[in-house]
Amino acid sequence: MVPTPLTTPELEHKASELRRLLVEVAHRTGGAYLAQALSGIDLMTALHYRFARCDPGDPDRPDRDRFLLSPGHYALALYVILADRGYFDPDLLWTFKDNGSPLELATHRGTVPGVEVSGGSLGQVLSLGVGMALHARMRGRDHRVFVVMSDGEQDEGQVWEAAAAAAHFGLSNLTAVVDCNGFQVDGPTSEVMNMEPMGDKYRAFGWDVRECDGNHMSAVVDALEELSAKGGDRPGMLVGRTVRGKGVSYMEGSRDFHYARIDADMKDRALDEMFEGDTDTV
């Protein structure tokens, strides 16, 4: 049974819960790409708990929407969502990165239910999304394909080949989301390879584009509602402007936390800030 979509206040509360869980797992398991998970968790929460029609009790049902995570190093963000939704036992989170654990540092298809693609090689998954969306249309199926990307991987030429193909084939059943947190492994995206204006580039390729604060849940929901409600024959793109390490003051906007190992004091400080700032009630 597909769960009832969450309201915006419920999504805000859920994202706060998941942020705290991200910090706990990263601390207890010796590290993660935590800053990226924290920047993208609002976008991913909105997609998974409100827009993607999928059933944790029947994860392979043919009519499910497909949720594709392109930056595989955001894996922990996807794992906490899948565990919370009931795709697998939440206790498995504490084995993250252990030898033999299915919860690998980068997502790998075939490990746990809900992981639709292997996302370790940046720039490839939008192409897979195009193929899935085209297949669905050719077979007369009405499920949607959602692709989450990072801004750093926009450097890859394959992304733009896929973008051109999606517009050419009129794939209105495809929606992509870019987590624009302004950083990649070698530093700020503006210095490594400036791909701005991101939204205008996708518009020029023929996409229907929305841009918003990607850490402001109501703005994210409104943008995705507009993209989901549109008719026509254009793929949809949400450019979400986010803060790397969102919710943890010493991590926010810092280039020093591409891969984060946090000790007990850092973990406690992060959780104190999150609990202090979470005044939402559901």
pLDDT higher than threshold 50 for residue 255: yes
Please name which of 93, 153, 165 lies closest in space to residue 122, comparing C-alpha atoms. 153
Q: In this structure, how many other beta carbons lie within 10 angstroms of the beta carbon of residue 9? A: 13
Mean pLDDT of the chain: 95
Choose the weakest-confidence range: 50-59, 62-71, 229-238: 229-238
In terms of CATH, what superfamily is 8-277? Thiamin diphosphate (ThDP)-binding fold, Pyr/PP domains (3.40.50.970)
pLDDT higher than threshold 50 for residue 280: no
Question: Which pair of tokens denotes residue 85?
Answer: 């939704």
Query: Residue 277: which pLDDT band, with cuts at 50, 70 and 90?
Result: low
Please name which of 80, 95, 81 lies closest in space to residue 29, comparing C-alpha atoms. 95
Quote the CA–CA distance of 16 and 77 in Å, as a whole number. 12
pLDDT higher than threshold 80 for residue 120: no
Choose the weakest-confidence range: 94-98, 205-209, 277-281: 277-281
Residues 6+ apart with CB under 8 A from 243: 39, 181, 215, 252, 253
Quote the CA–CA distance of 115 and 66 in Å, as a whole number. 10
Query: Residue 281: which pLDDT band, with cuts at 50, 70 and 90?
Result: very low
pLDDT tens-digit series, residues 224-240: 999 998 678 999 999 99
Query: Which pLDDT score is estimated for 159?
Result: 98
Query: Residue 30: which pLDDT band, with cuts at 50, 70 and 90?
Result: very high
| 3-state secondary structure (DSSP) of residue 70 | coil
Query: Which pLDDT score is estimated for 282?
Result: 33
